[in-house]
Structure 1
Amino acid sequence: MTTDLVIDVRNVTKRFGGLLAVNDCSLSVRRGSITGLIGPNGAGKSTLFNMVAGNIVPDSGQVIFDGADVTGMKPYQLFRIGMLRTFQIAHEFSQMTALENLMMVPGDQPGEHLLDTWFRPGLVKSRETAVRKKALDVVDFLKLGHVRNELAGNLSGGQKKLLELGRTMMVDAKVVLLDEVAAGVNKSLLNDLASNIERMNRELGYTFFVIEHDMDLIGRLCDPVIVMAQGEKIAEGPMAEIRANPQIVEAYFGSPAEVVS
Protein backbone atom coordinates (compact mmCIF):
# COMPACT_ATOMS: atom_id res chain seq x y z
CA MET A 1 0.00 0.00 0.00
CA THR A 2 1.43 3.39 -1.00
CA THR A 3 1.08 6.20 1.51
CA ASP A 4 2.03 9.87 1.44
CA LEU A 5 4.11 9.30 4.57
CA VAL A 6 7.30 7.39 3.80
CA ILE A 7 8.33 7.51 7.50
CA ASP A 8 5.76 7.63 10.30
CA VAL A 9 7.14 7.55 13.85
CA ARG A 10 4.38 6.83 16.35
CA ASN A 11 4.74 7.54 20.06
CA VAL A 12 8.26 6.17 20.43
CA THR A 13 10.00 6.18 23.79
CA LYS A 14 13.59 5.26 24.65
CA ARG A 15 15.32 5.15 28.02
CA PHE A 16 18.97 4.54 28.78
CA GLY A 17 18.96 3.55 32.44
CA GLY A 18 17.49 6.51 34.29
CA LEU A 19 17.78 8.84 31.29
CA LEU A 20 14.62 9.41 29.26
CA ALA A 21 16.15 10.19 25.84
CA VAL A 22 12.95 10.19 23.75
CA ASN A 23 9.54 10.64 25.33
CA ASP A 24 6.39 9.49 23.49
CA CYS A 25 7.53 11.26 20.32
CA SER A 26 5.67 11.23 17.01
CA LEU A 27 6.78 12.74 13.70
CA SER A 28 6.61 11.97 9.99
CA VAL A 29 8.44 12.44 6.71
CA ARG A 30 6.37 12.98 3.58
CA ARG A 31 7.29 11.32 0.31
CA GLY A 32 9.25 13.67 -1.93
CA SER A 33 10.23 16.06 0.86
CA ILE A 34 13.55 17.09 2.36
CA THR A 35 12.65 17.05 6.05
CA GLY A 36 15.07 18.42 8.64
CA LEU A 37 15.45 17.42 12.30
CA ILE A 38 17.15 19.89 14.63
CA GLY A 39 17.46 20.63 18.33
CA PRO A 40 20.03 21.43 21.02
CA ASN A 41 22.48 18.85 22.33
CA GLY A 42 20.63 16.31 24.45
CA ALA A 43 17.33 16.95 22.67
CA GLY A 44 16.98 13.27 21.71
CA LYS A 45 17.21 13.82 17.96
CA SER A 46 20.16 11.44 17.44
CA THR A 47 18.43 8.72 19.45
CA LEU A 48 15.24 9.14 17.44
CA PHE A 49 17.19 9.16 14.18
CA ASN A 50 18.94 5.95 15.20
CA MET A 51 15.61 4.30 16.02
CA VAL A 52 14.35 5.16 12.53
CA ALA A 53 17.59 3.82 11.01
CA GLY A 54 17.39 0.52 12.92
CA ASN A 55 20.46 1.09 15.09
CA ILE A 56 18.40 1.38 18.29
CA VAL A 57 15.19 -0.45 19.18
CA PRO A 58 12.54 1.72 20.90
CA ASP A 59 11.20 0.68 24.29
CA SER A 60 7.70 1.41 23.02
CA GLY A 61 5.99 2.89 19.99
CA GLN A 62 6.30 2.10 16.29
CA VAL A 63 8.36 3.06 13.28
CA ILE A 64 6.32 2.74 10.09
CA PHE A 65 8.19 2.77 6.77
CA ASP A 66 6.28 3.02 3.51
CA GLY A 67 3.15 1.71 5.24
CA ALA A 68 4.80 -1.28 6.97
CA ASP A 69 5.79 -1.67 10.61
CA VAL A 70 9.60 -1.92 10.67
CA THR A 71 10.09 -1.41 14.41
CA GLY A 72 13.19 -3.32 15.51
CA MET A 73 14.40 -4.14 12.00
CA LYS A 74 18.17 -4.10 11.50
CA PRO A 75 19.84 -1.55 9.19
CA TYR A 76 20.68 -4.22 6.58
CA GLN A 77 17.01 -5.26 6.49
CA LEU A 78 15.92 -1.65 6.03
CA PHE A 79 18.52 -1.26 3.27
CA ARG A 80 16.90 -4.11 1.35
CA ILE A 81 13.52 -2.39 1.37
CA GLY A 82 14.78 1.06 0.43
CA MET A 83 15.91 2.97 3.53
CA LEU A 84 19.53 4.10 3.23
CA ARG A 85 21.70 6.09 5.61
CA THR A 86 24.82 8.18 5.25
CA PHE A 87 27.04 8.86 8.26
CA GLN A 88 28.68 11.87 9.90
CA ILE A 89 32.01 10.12 9.27
CA ALA A 90 32.09 8.63 5.79
CA HIS A 91 32.32 4.81 5.64
CA GLU A 92 34.18 4.26 2.39
CA PHE A 93 36.24 1.23 1.30
CA SER A 94 39.51 3.14 1.44
CA GLN A 95 41.59 0.72 -0.67
CA MET A 96 39.06 0.60 -3.51
CA THR A 97 38.53 3.31 -6.11
CA ALA A 98 35.58 5.66 -5.97
CA LEU A 99 34.00 3.81 -8.90
CA GLU A 100 34.54 0.42 -7.24
CA ASN A 101 32.92 1.76 -4.05
CA LEU A 102 29.79 2.54 -6.04
CA MET A 103 29.81 -0.84 -7.78
CA MET A 104 29.91 -2.62 -4.41
CA VAL A 105 26.51 -1.28 -3.35
CA PRO A 106 23.86 -3.30 -5.24
CA GLY A 107 23.16 -6.52 -3.36
CA ASP A 108 22.89 -10.13 -4.50
CA GLN A 109 25.05 -9.73 -7.60
CA PRO A 110 25.66 -13.03 -9.50
CA GLY A 111 29.43 -12.61 -9.11
CA GLU A 112 29.02 -13.03 -5.34
CA HIS A 113 28.04 -16.68 -5.87
CA LEU A 114 30.75 -19.21 -6.69
CA LEU A 115 28.50 -21.45 -8.82
CA ASP A 116 27.44 -18.50 -10.95
CA THR A 117 31.07 -17.58 -11.62
CA TRP A 118 31.71 -21.17 -12.77
CA PHE A 119 28.56 -22.01 -14.67
CA ARG A 120 26.98 -18.66 -15.59
CA PRO A 121 29.88 -16.37 -16.49
CA GLY A 122 27.77 -14.59 -19.10
CA LEU A 123 25.23 -13.58 -16.48
CA VAL A 124 28.00 -12.40 -14.16
CA LYS A 125 29.60 -10.29 -16.88
CA SER A 126 26.28 -8.85 -18.02
CA ARG A 127 25.33 -7.82 -14.49
CA GLU A 128 28.75 -6.32 -13.81
CA THR A 129 28.53 -4.32 -17.03
CA ALA A 130 25.12 -2.96 -16.02
CA VAL A 131 26.32 -2.07 -12.52
CA ARG A 132 29.41 -0.33 -13.94
CA LYS A 133 27.28 1.70 -16.33
CA LYS A 134 25.02 2.82 -13.49
CA ALA A 135 28.07 3.72 -11.38
CA LEU A 136 29.47 5.80 -14.24
CA ASP A 137 26.10 7.56 -14.59
CA VAL A 138 26.19 8.36 -10.86
CA VAL A 139 29.76 9.65 -11.15
CA ASP A 140 28.67 11.94 -14.00
CA PHE A 141 25.60 13.15 -12.09
CA LEU A 142 27.72 14.07 -9.05
CA LYS A 143 30.58 15.47 -11.17
CA LEU A 144 33.10 13.07 -9.63
CA GLY A 145 34.56 11.88 -12.92
CA HIS A 146 37.98 13.37 -12.15
CA VAL A 147 38.37 11.12 -9.08
CA ARG A 148 36.52 8.00 -10.22
CA ASN A 149 39.76 5.95 -10.38
CA GLU A 150 41.25 7.47 -7.22
CA LEU A 151 41.42 5.35 -4.06
CA ALA A 152 38.49 6.41 -1.89
CA GLY A 153 40.78 6.76 1.12
CA ASN A 154 42.60 9.57 -0.69
CA LEU A 155 39.50 11.67 -1.29
CA SER A 156 38.79 14.83 0.66
CA GLY A 157 36.10 14.86 3.34
CA GLY A 158 33.65 16.54 1.00
CA GLN A 159 34.38 14.14 -1.84
CA LYS A 160 33.79 11.20 0.52
CA LYS A 161 30.42 12.68 1.45
CA LEU A 162 29.57 13.00 -2.24
CA LEU A 163 30.63 9.38 -2.70
CA GLU A 164 28.31 8.34 0.14
CA LEU A 165 25.52 10.25 -1.56
CA GLY A 166 26.37 8.42 -4.77
CA ARG A 167 26.09 5.05 -3.05
CA THR A 168 22.48 5.85 -2.22
CA MET A 169 21.87 6.32 -5.96
CA MET A 170 23.07 2.80 -6.79
CA VAL A 171 19.88 1.21 -5.45
CA ASP A 172 16.22 2.19 -5.51
CA ALA A 173 16.14 4.21 -2.30
CA LYS A 174 12.72 5.25 -1.04
CA VAL A 175 14.28 7.52 1.58
CA VAL A 176 17.82 8.62 2.41
CA LEU A 177 18.76 9.45 6.00
CA LEU A 178 21.48 12.11 6.04
CA ASP A 179 23.46 12.25 9.31
CA GLU A 180 25.40 15.51 9.79
CA VAL A 181 26.21 15.78 6.10
CA ALA A 182 28.04 19.11 6.60
CA ALA A 183 30.54 17.73 9.15
CA GLY A 184 34.13 17.99 7.92
CA VAL A 185 33.18 19.53 4.57
CA ASN A 186 34.61 22.85 3.33
CA LYS A 187 32.19 25.54 2.15
CA SER A 188 32.85 25.01 -1.56
CA LEU A 189 32.23 21.27 -1.50
CA LEU A 190 29.32 21.77 0.90
CA ASN A 191 27.65 23.91 -1.72
CA ASP A 192 28.21 21.14 -4.28
CA LEU A 193 26.81 18.59 -1.84
CA ALA A 194 23.72 20.68 -1.15
CA SER A 195 23.18 21.27 -4.87
CA ASN A 196 23.31 17.54 -5.54
CA ILE A 197 20.84 16.80 -2.75
CA GLU A 198 18.50 19.37 -4.26
CA ARG A 199 18.93 17.88 -7.74
CA MET A 200 18.32 14.33 -6.48
CA ASN A 201 15.14 15.54 -4.80
CA ARG A 202 13.93 17.68 -7.70
CA GLU A 203 15.01 15.62 -10.72
CA LEU A 204 14.99 12.07 -9.37
CA GLY A 205 12.28 12.29 -6.69
CA TYR A 206 14.45 11.29 -3.72
CA THR A 207 13.07 11.78 -0.21
CA PHE A 208 15.55 12.92 2.46
CA PHE A 209 15.42 12.96 6.26
CA VAL A 210 18.23 15.19 7.52
CA ILE A 211 19.73 15.59 10.99
CA GLU A 212 22.11 18.54 11.00
CA HIS A 213 23.64 21.27 13.20
CA ASP A 214 24.34 23.68 10.32
CA MET A 215 21.26 25.91 10.40
CA ASP A 216 22.12 27.60 7.12
CA LEU A 217 22.18 24.23 5.37
CA ILE A 218 18.92 23.19 7.02
CA GLY A 219 17.38 26.50 5.99
CA ARG A 220 18.51 26.01 2.40
CA LEU A 221 17.45 22.39 1.99
CA CYS A 222 14.61 21.54 4.33
CA ASP A 223 10.89 22.11 4.40
CA PRO A 224 9.54 21.20 6.83
CA VAL A 225 11.95 21.49 9.75
CA ILE A 226 11.14 19.53 12.92
CA VAL A 227 12.46 20.80 16.27
CA MET A 228 13.06 18.48 19.22
CA ALA A 229 13.88 19.34 22.83
CA GLN A 230 13.97 17.20 25.97
CA GLY A 231 13.02 14.10 24.01
CA GLU A 232 9.89 15.57 22.44
CA LYS A 233 8.86 17.26 19.22
CA ILE A 234 8.11 20.89 20.03
CA ALA A 235 7.64 22.51 16.61
CA GLU A 236 7.40 21.85 12.88
CA GLY A 237 7.25 24.14 9.89
CA PRO A 238 9.28 26.09 7.33
CA MET A 239 12.64 27.32 8.59
CA ALA A 240 11.47 30.93 8.32
CA GLU A 241 8.79 30.20 10.92
CA ILE A 242 11.24 28.34 13.16
CA ARG A 243 13.72 31.23 13.03
CA ALA A 244 10.96 33.76 13.75
CA ASN A 245 9.56 31.97 16.81
CA PRO A 246 10.98 33.91 19.79
CA GLN A 247 10.18 31.14 22.28
CA ILE A 248 12.08 28.52 20.29
CA VAL A 249 14.98 30.87 19.59
CA GLU A 250 15.40 31.92 23.21
CA ALA A 251 14.76 28.56 24.84
CA TYR A 252 16.64 26.26 22.49
CA PHE A 253 19.21 28.37 20.61
CA GLY A 254 20.17 31.02 23.16
CA SER A 255 19.80 34.03 20.84
CA PRO A 256 18.55 34.86 17.35
CA ALA A 257 22.15 35.26 16.17
CA GLU A 258 22.92 31.63 16.93
CA VAL A 259 20.06 30.39 14.75
CA VAL A 260 21.55 31.95 11.64
CA SER A 261 25.21 31.34 12.48
Structure 2
Amino acid sequence: MGSIIEVRQVNKAFGALQVINDCSIQVEEGSITGLIGPNGAGKSTLFNLIAGTFAPDSGRIHFAGEDITAVPSDQLFHRGLLRTFQIAQEFSHMTALENLMMVPPQAGENIFNTWLRPALVHEQELHVRQKAMDVIEFIGLKHVRNELAGNLSGGQKKLLELGRTMMVNARVVLLDEIAAGVNRTLLQDLIRNIQRLNQEMGYTFLVIEHDMDMIAQLCNPVIVLAQGSVMVEGSIEAIQNNQEVIEAYFGNDAH
Protein backbone atom coordinates (compact mmCIF):
# COMPACT_ATOMS: atom_id res chain seq x y z
CA MET A 1 0.00 0.00 0.00
CA GLY A 2 3.05 2.27 0.19
CA SER A 3 4.74 4.13 3.02
CA ILE A 4 2.62 6.17 5.40
CA ILE A 5 5.60 7.37 7.48
CA GLU A 6 8.97 8.25 5.99
CA VAL A 7 11.91 9.47 8.08
CA ARG A 8 14.67 10.76 5.84
CA GLN A 9 18.24 11.30 7.09
CA VAL A 10 17.09 12.75 10.41
CA ASN A 11 19.53 13.98 13.05
CA LYS A 12 18.87 15.08 16.62
CA ALA A 13 21.33 16.09 19.33
CA PHE A 14 20.81 17.28 22.87
CA GLY A 15 23.83 19.42 23.62
CA ALA A 16 26.91 17.37 22.82
CA LEU A 17 24.96 14.09 22.79
CA GLN A 18 24.03 12.91 19.29
CA VAL A 19 20.93 10.77 19.86
CA ILE A 20 19.62 10.31 16.30
CA ASN A 21 22.28 9.96 13.63
CA ASP A 22 21.37 10.14 9.92
CA CYS A 23 18.36 7.91 10.56
CA SER A 24 16.01 6.84 7.76
CA ILE A 25 13.04 4.50 8.16
CA GLN A 26 9.81 3.75 6.31
CA VAL A 27 6.60 2.41 7.82
CA GLU A 28 4.27 0.75 5.34
CA GLU A 29 0.59 1.61 5.56
CA GLY A 30 -1.37 -1.21 7.18
CA SER A 31 1.70 -2.76 8.81
CA ILE A 32 2.59 -3.44 12.43
CA THR A 33 6.26 -2.47 12.40
CA GLY A 34 8.51 -3.17 15.37
CA LEU A 35 11.27 -0.84 16.56
CA ILE A 36 13.76 -2.49 18.87
CA GLY A 37 17.26 -1.90 20.22
CA PRO A 38 19.15 -1.44 23.49
CA ASN A 39 18.49 1.31 25.99
CA GLY A 40 19.91 4.55 24.68
CA ALA A 41 19.53 3.55 21.03
CA GLY A 42 17.27 6.55 20.39
CA LYS A 43 13.92 4.77 20.01
CA SER A 44 11.82 7.10 22.16
CA THR A 45 13.54 10.16 20.72
CA LEU A 46 12.69 8.95 17.22
CA PHE A 47 9.06 8.53 18.37
CA ASN A 48 9.06 12.07 19.73
CA LEU A 49 10.41 13.39 16.45
CA ILE A 50 7.74 11.60 14.42
CA ALA A 51 4.98 12.66 16.82
CA GLY A 52 6.01 16.32 16.72
CA THR A 53 7.20 16.61 20.32
CA PHE A 54 10.69 17.59 19.12
CA ALA A 55 11.88 19.03 15.83
CA PRO A 56 14.87 17.35 14.17
CA ASP A 57 18.11 19.30 13.72
CA SER A 58 18.15 18.19 10.08
CA GLY A 59 16.36 15.78 7.79
CA ARG A 60 12.67 15.48 6.93
CA ILE A 61 9.68 13.50 8.19
CA HIS A 62 6.65 12.73 6.01
CA PHE A 63 3.24 11.41 7.01
CA ALA A 64 0.81 10.23 4.33
CA GLY A 65 2.83 12.07 1.70
CA GLU A 66 2.93 15.40 3.56
CA ASP A 67 6.00 16.98 5.12
CA ILE A 68 5.30 17.14 8.88
CA THR A 69 8.82 18.02 10.00
CA ALA A 70 7.74 21.25 11.70
CA VAL A 71 4.15 20.28 12.57
CA PRO A 72 3.39 20.22 16.35
CA SER A 73 1.95 17.15 18.05
CA ASP A 74 -1.55 18.58 18.63
CA GLN A 75 -2.01 19.17 14.91
CA LEU A 76 -0.70 15.70 14.09
CA PHE A 77 -3.17 14.24 16.60
CA HIS A 78 -6.05 15.74 14.62
CA ARG A 79 -4.55 14.36 11.39
CA GLY A 80 -4.63 10.84 12.83
CA LEU A 81 -1.05 10.39 14.05
CA LEU A 82 -1.18 9.39 17.72
CA ARG A 83 1.21 7.99 20.29
CA THR A 84 0.92 6.18 23.60
CA PHE A 85 3.43 6.34 26.42
CA GLN A 86 5.43 3.79 28.37
CA ILE A 87 3.72 5.06 31.53
CA ALA A 88 -0.02 5.37 30.91
CA GLN A 89 -1.24 8.94 31.24
CA GLU A 90 -4.80 8.51 32.42
CA PHE A 91 -6.97 11.04 34.27
CA SER A 92 -6.82 9.16 37.54
CA HIS A 93 -9.79 10.89 39.24
CA MET A 94 -12.15 10.26 36.33
CA THR A 95 -13.80 6.96 35.45
CA ALA A 96 -12.51 4.76 32.65
CA LEU A 97 -15.51 5.77 30.53
CA GLU A 98 -14.96 9.47 31.22
CA ASN A 99 -11.31 9.11 30.20
CA LEU A 100 -12.45 7.96 26.77
CA MET A 101 -15.04 10.73 26.50
CA MET A 102 -12.34 13.34 27.14
CA VAL A 103 -10.47 12.54 23.92
CA PRO A 104 -12.55 13.97 21.04
CA PRO A 105 -13.18 17.73 20.86
CA GLN A 106 -16.77 18.64 21.69
CA ALA A 107 -19.03 21.61 21.06
CA GLY A 108 -19.58 22.01 24.80
CA GLU A 109 -15.98 23.13 25.23
CA ASN A 110 -17.09 26.46 23.74
CA ILE A 111 -19.11 28.41 26.34
CA PHE A 112 -21.15 30.13 23.62
CA ASN A 113 -22.33 26.77 22.32
CA THR A 114 -23.36 25.85 25.86
CA TRP A 115 -25.53 28.97 26.07
CA LEU A 116 -26.78 29.29 22.52
CA ARG A 117 -26.76 25.74 21.14
CA PRO A 118 -27.56 23.43 24.07
CA ALA A 119 -29.35 20.89 21.85
CA LEU A 120 -26.20 20.47 19.72
CA VAL A 121 -24.06 20.08 22.83
CA HIS A 122 -26.42 17.46 24.30
CA GLU A 123 -26.63 15.51 21.04
CA GLN A 124 -22.85 15.45 20.68
CA GLU A 125 -22.34 14.36 24.29
CA LEU A 126 -24.73 11.43 23.72
CA HIS A 127 -22.83 10.48 20.55
CA VAL A 128 -19.45 10.62 22.30
CA ARG A 129 -20.77 8.62 25.25
CA GLN A 130 -22.13 5.90 22.96
CA LYS A 131 -18.84 5.73 21.09
CA ALA A 132 -16.97 5.46 24.41
CA MET A 133 -19.29 2.61 25.44
CA ASP A 134 -18.58 0.82 22.16
CA VAL A 135 -14.83 1.31 22.57
CA ILE A 136 -14.74 0.16 26.18
CA GLU A 137 -16.61 -3.00 25.21
CA PHE A 138 -14.20 -3.56 22.29
CA ILE A 139 -11.15 -3.39 24.59
CA GLY A 140 -12.75 -5.63 27.21
CA LEU A 141 -13.07 -3.09 30.03
CA LYS A 142 -16.87 -2.81 30.21
CA HIS A 143 -16.83 -4.31 33.71
CA VAL A 144 -14.68 -1.42 35.02
CA ARG A 145 -16.19 1.41 32.97
CA ASN A 146 -17.35 3.25 36.10
CA GLU A 147 -14.16 2.60 38.08
CA LEU A 148 -11.77 5.50 38.65
CA ALA A 149 -8.96 5.13 36.14
CA GLY A 150 -6.38 5.57 38.90
CA ASN A 151 -7.64 2.33 40.48
CA LEU A 152 -7.15 0.22 37.36
CA SER A 153 -4.29 -2.25 37.07
CA GLY A 154 -1.28 -1.42 34.92
CA GLY A 155 -2.56 -3.65 32.14
CA GLN A 156 -6.04 -2.17 32.27
CA LYS A 157 -4.54 1.33 32.00
CA LYS A 158 -2.64 0.26 28.89
CA LEU A 159 -5.85 -1.12 27.39
CA LEU A 160 -7.58 2.16 28.23
CA GLU A 161 -4.81 4.12 26.54
CA LEU A 162 -5.20 1.96 23.45
CA GLY A 163 -8.93 2.64 23.61
CA ARG A 164 -8.30 6.37 23.65
CA THR A 165 -6.76 6.08 20.18
CA MET A 166 -10.10 4.68 18.98
CA MET A 167 -12.01 7.80 20.04
CA VAL A 168 -10.59 9.76 17.10
CA ASN A 169 -9.92 8.80 13.50
CA ALA A 170 -6.46 7.35 14.03
CA ARG A 171 -4.40 6.29 11.02
CA VAL A 172 -1.05 5.61 12.70
CA VAL A 173 -0.47 4.79 16.36
CA LEU A 174 3.00 4.86 17.91
CA LEU A 175 3.08 2.37 20.80
CA ASP A 176 5.84 3.00 23.33
CA GLU A 177 6.53 -0.16 25.39
CA ILE A 178 2.86 -0.91 25.86
CA ALA A 179 3.72 -4.31 27.40
CA ALA A 180 5.72 -2.79 30.30
CA GLY A 181 4.18 -3.73 33.65
CA VAL A 182 1.39 -5.79 32.08
CA ASN A 183 0.64 -9.34 33.24
CA ARG A 184 0.65 -12.10 30.65
CA THR A 185 -3.14 -12.49 30.52
CA LEU A 186 -3.80 -8.80 29.85
CA LEU A 187 -0.84 -8.73 27.47
CA GLN A 188 -2.63 -11.24 25.26
CA ASP A 189 -5.71 -8.99 25.39
CA LEU A 190 -3.53 -6.08 24.25
CA ILE A 191 -2.06 -8.11 21.40
CA ARG A 192 -5.50 -9.24 20.24
CA ASN A 193 -6.83 -5.67 20.33
CA ILE A 194 -3.86 -4.32 18.36
CA GLN A 195 -4.31 -7.07 15.76
CA ARG A 196 -8.06 -6.34 15.51
CA LEU A 197 -7.47 -2.61 15.09
CA ASN A 198 -4.93 -3.39 12.38
CA GLN A 199 -7.02 -5.97 10.53
CA GLU A 200 -10.56 -4.63 11.02
CA MET A 201 -9.99 -0.86 11.11
CA GLY A 202 -6.81 -0.46 9.08
CA TYR A 203 -4.66 1.04 11.83
CA THR A 204 -0.93 1.21 11.13
CA PHE A 205 1.27 0.64 14.18
CA LEU A 206 4.90 1.44 14.96
CA VAL A 207 5.83 -0.42 18.13
CA ILE A 208 8.74 0.16 20.53
CA GLU A 209 9.03 -2.93 22.67
CA HIS A 210 11.58 -4.90 24.69
CA ASP A 211 9.32 -7.95 24.97
CA MET A 212 10.57 -10.10 22.09
CA ASP A 213 7.68 -12.55 22.41
CA MET A 214 5.25 -9.69 21.79
CA ILE A 215 7.33 -8.43 18.87
CA ALA A 216 7.38 -11.95 17.41
CA GLN A 217 3.58 -12.25 17.71
CA LEU A 218 2.79 -8.83 16.31
CA CYS A 219 5.42 -7.28 14.12
CA ASN A 220 6.61 -7.63 10.56
CA PRO A 221 8.96 -6.04 9.68
CA VAL A 222 11.21 -5.29 12.65
CA ILE A 223 13.72 -2.43 12.63
CA VAL A 224 16.77 -2.57 14.91
CA LEU A 225 18.02 0.83 16.01
CA ALA A 226 21.56 1.23 17.35
CA GLN A 227 23.30 4.47 18.31
CA GLY A 228 20.57 6.48 16.63
CA SER A 229 20.76 4.73 13.25
CA VAL A 230 19.14 1.71 11.62
CA MET A 231 21.33 -1.33 12.10
CA VAL A 232 19.20 -3.89 10.25
CA GLU A 233 15.58 -4.45 9.18
CA GLY A 234 13.70 -7.64 8.43
CA SER A 235 11.46 -10.34 9.86
CA ILE A 236 11.81 -11.20 13.55
CA GLU A 237 13.27 -14.57 12.53
CA ALA A 238 15.97 -12.87 10.46
CA ILE A 239 16.68 -10.39 13.26
CA GLN A 240 16.97 -13.12 15.91
CA ASN A 241 19.36 -15.07 13.68
CA ASN A 242 21.51 -12.09 12.73
CA GLN A 243 24.85 -12.73 14.38
CA GLU A 244 25.79 -9.06 14.54
CA VAL A 245 22.55 -8.23 16.34
CA ILE A 246 22.90 -11.20 18.69
CA GLU A 247 26.44 -10.33 19.68
CA ALA A 248 25.98 -6.59 20.00
CA TYR A 249 22.52 -6.23 21.53
CA PHE A 250 20.88 -9.41 22.75
CA GLY A 251 23.62 -11.68 24.06
CA ASN A 252 22.16 -14.61 25.96
CA ASP A 253 18.70 -12.99 25.99
CA ALA A 254 18.29 -13.50 22.24
CA HIS A 255 17.30 -17.11 22.66
Q: Scaled by the length of structure 1, what TM-score is found?
A: 0.95
Matches within 5 A, 1:119-130: 119-130=116-127
Q: Distance in 2 between the 1:92 and 1:237 partners?
A: 34
Does 1:146 pair with 2:150? no
1:210 matched residue in structure 2: 207
| Cα displacement (A) at 1:196 | 0.7
| Aligned alpha-carbon RMSD (Å) | 1.1
Which structure 1 residue ranges, 4+ long, deviate > 2 Å from structure 2?
none
2:36 matched residue in structure 1: 38
Q: Distance in 1 between the 2:114 and 2:40 partners?
A: 51
- Alignment match of 2:254 (pick from 233, 237, 259): 259
- Alignment match of 1:235 (pick from 232, 235, 243): 232
Q: Distance in 1 between the 2:43 and 2:140 partners?
A: 32
Q: Distance in 2 between the 1:232 and 1:139 partners?
A: 38
How many residue pairs get aligned? The number is 255
SS at match of 2:206: strand
Q: Distance in 1 between the 2:82 and 2:59 partners?
A: 22
- Alignment match of 1:19 (pick from 17, 20, 24): 17
2:74 matched residue in structure 1: 76
Deviations 1:18-67 (A, max 9, x none): 22211111001111100010011222222212111112211100110111
- Alignment match of 1:100 (pick from 81, 95, 98): 98
Q: Distance in 1 between the 2:41 and 2:141 partners?
A: 36
Does 1:162 pair with 2:172? no
1:100 partner amino acid: E
| Cα displacement (A) at 1:72 | 2.7
2:216 matched residue in structure 1: 219
**Structure 1 regions of 5+ residues with no counterpart?**
none
SS at match of 1:37: strand
| Cα displacement (A) at 1:4 | 2.0
| Cα displacement (A) at 1:154 | 0.6
1:178 matched residue in structure 2: 175
Counterpart contact for 2:20–2:46, Cα < 8 Å: yes
Q: Distance in 1 between the 2:251 and 2:17 partners?
A: 24
**Structure 2 regions of 5+ residues with no counterpart?**
none
Q: Scaled by the length of structure 2, what TM-score is found?
A: 0.97
1:259 partner amino acid: A
- Alignment match of 1:91 (pick from 89, 92, 97): 89
Q: Which moved more, 1:65-74 or 1:221-230?
A: 65-74
Q: Which moved more, 1:160-169 or 1:76-85?
A: 76-85
Q: Distance in 1 between the 2:12 and 2:115 partners?
A: 49
Q: Distance in 2 between the 1:94 and 1:42 partners?
A: 30
Q: Distance in 2 between the 1:120 and 1:47 partners?
A: 43
- Alignment match of 2:247 (pick from 247, 250, 254): 250
| Cα displacement (A) at 1:143 | 1.3
SS at match of 1:177: strand
Matches within 5 A, 1:185-204: 185-204=182-201
Deviations 1:130-183 (A, max 9, x none): 111111110111111100011111100000000000000000001001001011
Does 1:28 pair with 2:26? yes
Counterpart contact for 2:101–2:129, Cα < 8 Å: yes
Q: Distance in 1 between the 2:182 and 2:36 partners?
A: 19
| Cα displacement (A) at 1:87 | 0.6
| Cα displacement (A) at 1:199 | 1.0
2:61 matched residue in structure 1: 63
SS at match of 1:254: helix
Counterpart contact for 2:171–2:202, Cα < 8 Å: no
